[in-house]
Structure 1
Amino acid sequence: MHSREKMRAKNTALWNEQAGPIMEAFFSHTLEPMAILDAEFNFIRVNDAYAKIASRESDDFIGENHFDLYPHEENERIFRSVVDNKKPYLALAKPFEHPDQPERGTTYWNWKLFPILDYKGAIKYLVFTLEDVTAETRAKERLKEANEKLEKRARQLQKMSAALSAAEDRERERLSEVLHDDLQQRLVAAKFQINIAASRSNMNEDVAEQLEEAGKLLDGAIKKSRNLSHELCPPVLSQYGLGAAFEWLAVEMGDLYDLTLEVIIGTEAEPDTEEIRSFAFKSVRELVFNAVKHAGVDRVRVNMQRSGEQIQIIVSDEGKGFDVDSVLGGANKGFGLLSMRERLDVLGGSLLIKSSAGEGSEFVICLPGEESNETEREAVS
């Protein structure tokens, strides 16, 4: 009799001698793939569930060595450590490639190897159980890959949004300069020429009236051009900074709406980058306008301070207040506030809103105080 056949007969006899009928029934009928090995990793017994996953008959395994059939250096080291330490080992979603079934590709298994000791503490058997988690693991990998793609796309869209906003700021500044440096100068020059013509003493009365009316129209056009230039991008922002722009805004709000805008600027509170200064000014101006329209107040406070590496701007009033969840979740979904919050996310900042009906409102804008060194995100494919 060949040595392998002798080993098979010996292991079968050993199992039949020591495994009682109850154990045999349990082993044979359990749905969990299970194998019994000796301390050298030779198969003593495998159940039908185990044989099925290998597309073999149960008897084909008896006397074979596990690692002759399924060579795997890492797993063999683990098996030997179980023998040496006499402690069980649990593997979760362990990748495995069947050497005799390459078409299956990489499969994933939860498996457990635990020793059965005799009364002397020596290893009598090794019980090896398997659970195929290939479908679940592949589904998780697909979900992870899909989430990574979504996150990448979200970052790309955020970057596009930031780029578009920056382009909008540049265009606003350009148009403001055109209005201020070109159109307004032309209108002022035209008004000057009309004033010269109107000063002539021998002018026909009808012509004088027409010139006076033309002068009034030019005054209106100059004022409108100046206001439009400031709305697009007040020159004071680029020339003197954010604090000065808030002071200018206070004067404007007082002139236009009889609103007292209290401005408090802390030491070294000025943001470093033009992008953040521009965004901060537009955000604060929008919040102040909202207070005028909705809060029913004649006083608003703007407080800009540096806190560590952040710039914190608090816009507060003691007006009507509102339910934050209702506004952000309503029909218009607080579009301006949501847009502001999304842009802040891109810039590395945040927006905290504190308000309730009858209790006033407080908007806390947190912005990075220094230019971010974050690695450039992926370009849109």
Structure 2
Amino acid sequence: MFDKIFNTTHLSIVYLDNQFNFIRVNKTYANACGYEPEFFPGKNHFALFPHKENEEIFRRVIETGKSFSIYAKPFEFPNHPEWGTTYWDWTLQPVKDKDGNVEGLVFILVDVTHSKKIELEFKKLNESLEEKVKDRTLELKKAKEAAEQANIAKSAFLSNMSHELRTPLNIILGYTQLMQRDVITSEQHKKYLDTISHSGRHLLALINDVLEISKIEANKTKIQVTTFDLYRLAKNMELMFQAKTKQKKLQFVLDIHSNVSRFISSDESKLRHILINLLSNAVKFTEEGGIVLRVQMKKGKFPDLCLVFVVEDSGVGIETEEIEKILQPFVQSAKTLKNIEGTGLGLAISKKYVELMGGTLSVSSQVGKGSKFHVEIKCKAGKKEEYQEKAEDRKVIGISQNSNIPKILVVDDADDSRFLLVNLLETVGFEVREAGNGLEVIDIWTSWNPHLIFMDMRMPILDGLEATRRIKETEHGKDTVIIAFSASAFEEDKAHFLKIGCDGFLSKPIIEAEVFEVIAKHLGIEYRYKEVKDVSLPIQELNPEDFTGISKDSLNALRDVLMSLSSDEISSFIKQFESGHKQLYQKLTELSQRFQYTVILDVLSKT
């Protein structure tokens, strides 16, 4: 039985004496060596298979009496060079006599050549893959470096473009705002100024869109949550676009659902941007009919809300296959591109803003019948006491008697830009001085001690950066508020200005509301404002009872004038109710101003 097992096992088994002479081998070992088993007895192992390193190992086992194992030991048979290198797992086990002396060795081997070669192939393949990964990583690194260089070049171009365009725009819009502050008796002149202002702001919006899409692509756009008046935002949209729609003889309807909260917490600036983009598109692509802005609210668990905006138009519509395309940057509908102005960025920016605010923007359209843009945005309910009315909501006309008159230094090497801001501030009542370079700033600051400095960053002789550094490194200068003033609008520039010591940042062109807001923020002053009519939305519901006392002829005449869709005739007709039916007059006026003629006609049909 032992002989059968000894000669059929897959293990190669060798029995040697302590001089390494073969005593017995099994068939597996003999076959592996290319001999018969009878060939080995009496022959010396290392005479047949000379190998100095192996002989040292065998001798050490004899001397120490301790077993030894090794894995995947390479070996080449001298009588079979064609076999090449073979690999063996082997174990040496000492055989001891009754006195503990080593009298021989049992040498057990397993041929692992096949698995070792597979392992080597895998290793070789792995090394090849590692080399390819290394090469690919190097390629990606080079591509990344090239992309970064391209982005640097792109940023430099956008920065220069922004600076070159914003500088003249600063003059155009700034002087327009100054002239609009004057008492102008000519309606034609007012119209001229409004046109200049609108066109300048349109160009500024295009510049800002290009810069904004660059920020979005670089993941540098952030959400700024504040509590604001949603009714006022909606009303401002109505006022802004009624003039445009009236010019094109279009109806504009603002429909605010009764469940809409007046004060909410969200990013007002981005919401305004979204609405302006959607409504601007609606006006662009609509030649007859009208535009509707619906504001609704889905209520969740307090204070979570879902704000819904729907912008509908009766314009040219969009081909189904083009709906996804128009939401991409720099893309406009191929059907209308030749007739339409713009950069093709508005919808792309709106979509990104909506997504940043955790919402969705969907589009449905039918060619020849119009389009509907549906926006849902997550927000929270706000409280009236959290709301701070912004300067842009009211016109600043002076400094409150409760505030001291601050001293403000205006610094700009461009005479026109400097004169513009100086005049704006003096009109309101600030004490103002001016400087044209950094050295003049240091002199005036030292002698006059202004509370706040508007500091242009690009100037000759000594630029605004160095002037700011010199002022802020003094103990006294730490109390001087410095607002960086630049034609650059990049966040990294703003961050750099703040890092070197500036307390705030304003980009050109001058927007007077932003100027007054930053002064109030840092100096804590209060203003006097021009009185404005309070926004009270939604309006009271019109009922059949409101027409009590109105003659049948007047009701029929009202129906006829409403059917004419002439806003001037409708306003003139409604005027007759002002003295005797004031509440009815107010309701009809509010509805007609929103072009909600169908609402009035529906109520009239029930009288």
**TM-score when scaled to structure 1?**
0.51
Of 293, 299, 310 in structure 1, the residue corresponding to residue 358 of structure 2 is: 293
Report what 1:151 is aligned to.
130
Report what 2:72 is aligned to.
93
Report what 2:99 is aligned to.
120
Of 106, 117, 122 in structure 1, the residue corresponding to residue 85 of structure 2 is: 106
CA distance in 2, matches of 1:288, 1:196: 32
Question: More helix by proportion, 1 or 2?
Answer: 1
What's the CA shift for 1:166? 3.7
CA distance in 1, matches of 2:9, 2:217: 76
- 1:172, 1:232 within 8 Å by CA — same for their partners in 2? no
Superposition map of 1:56-95 within 5 A: 56-95=35-74
Report what 2:157 is aligned to.
178
Alignment partner of 1:52 is 2:37: no
CA distance in 2, matches of 1:148, 1:172: 35
- 1:122-150 per-residue CA deviation (whole Å, 9 max, x = no partner) reads 33332112110011111112222222333
- 2:61, 2:92 within 8 Å by CA — same for their partners in 1? yes
- 1:187-211 per-residue CA deviation (whole Å, 9 max, x = no partner) reads 64378579999x9x9xx98998876
Against the structure 1 CA distance between its residues 226 and 46, is the aligned structure 2 distance closer, same or farther, given a 3 Å change threshold? closer
- 1:47, 1:58 within 8 Å by CA — same for their partners in 2? yes
Give the gaps of 5 or more residues in structure 1: 1-21, 235-244, 259-286, 299-381
Classify the secondary structure of the residue corresponding to 1:96: strand
CA distance in 1, matches of 2:157, 2:109: 75
What's the CA shift for 1:43? 0.9
Report what 2:208 is aligned to.
223
Alignment partner of 1:130 is 2:115: no
Report what 1:36 is aligned to.
15
- 1:283-337 per-residue CA deviation (whole Å, 9 max, x = no partner) reads xxxx999662269467xxxxxxxxxxxxxxxxxxxxxxxxxxxxxxxxxxxxxxx
What's the CA shift for 1:152? 3.6
Against the structure 1 CA distance between its residues 196 and 88, is the aligned structure 2 distance closer, same or farther, given a 3 Å change threshold? closer
Superposition map of 1:125-274 within 5 A: 125-182=104-161, 184-186=163-165, 188-189=167-168, 192=171, 214-228=199-213, 230-231=215-216, 254=267, 256-257=269-270
What's the CA shift for 1:67? 0.5
What's the CA shift for 1:54? 1.1
Report what 1:272 is aligned to.
none
Give the gaps of 5 or more residues in structure 2: 227-265, 272-351, 360-376, 381-607
Q: Larger radius of gyration, structure 1 or 2?
A: 2
- Count of paired positions: 237
Classify the secondary structure of the residue corresponding to 2:357: helix
What's the CA shift for 1:86? 1.8
Against the structure 1 CA distance between its residues 209 and 55, is the aligned structure 2 distance closer, same or farther, given a 3 Å change threshold? same
**TM-score when scaled to structure 2?**
0.33
Against the structure 1 CA distance between its residues 233 and 103, is the aligned structure 2 distance closer, same or farther, given a 3 Å change threshold? same
Most deviating of 154-163 and 168-177? 154-163
What fraction of aligned residue pairs are identical, expressed as a percent?
Answer: 29
Give RMSD over aligned pairs. Answer: 4.2
- 1:19-62 per-residue CA deviation (whole Å, 9 max, x = no partner) reads xxx54444334342212211100111222111111111222212
- What code does the residue aligned with 1:292 have? M
Against the structure 1 CA distance between its residues 81 and 233, is the aligned structure 2 distance closer, same or farther, given a 3 Å change threshold? closer
Classify the secondary structure of the residue corresponding to 1:293: coil
- What code does the residue aligned with 1:215 have? G
CA distance in 1, matches of 2:169, 2:356: 39
- 1:260-304 per-residue CA deviation (whole Å, 9 max, x = no partner) reads xxxxxxxxxxxxxxxxxxxxxxxxxxx999662269467xxxxxx
CA distance in 2, matches of 1:223, 1:165: 27
What's the CA shift for 1:229? 5.3
CA distance in 1, matches of 2:37, 2:19: 19
- 1:191, 1:215 within 8 Å by CA — same for their partners in 2? no
- What code does the residue aligned with 1:121 have? G
CA distance in 1, matches of 2:209, 2:127: 50
What's the CA shift for 1:254? 4.7
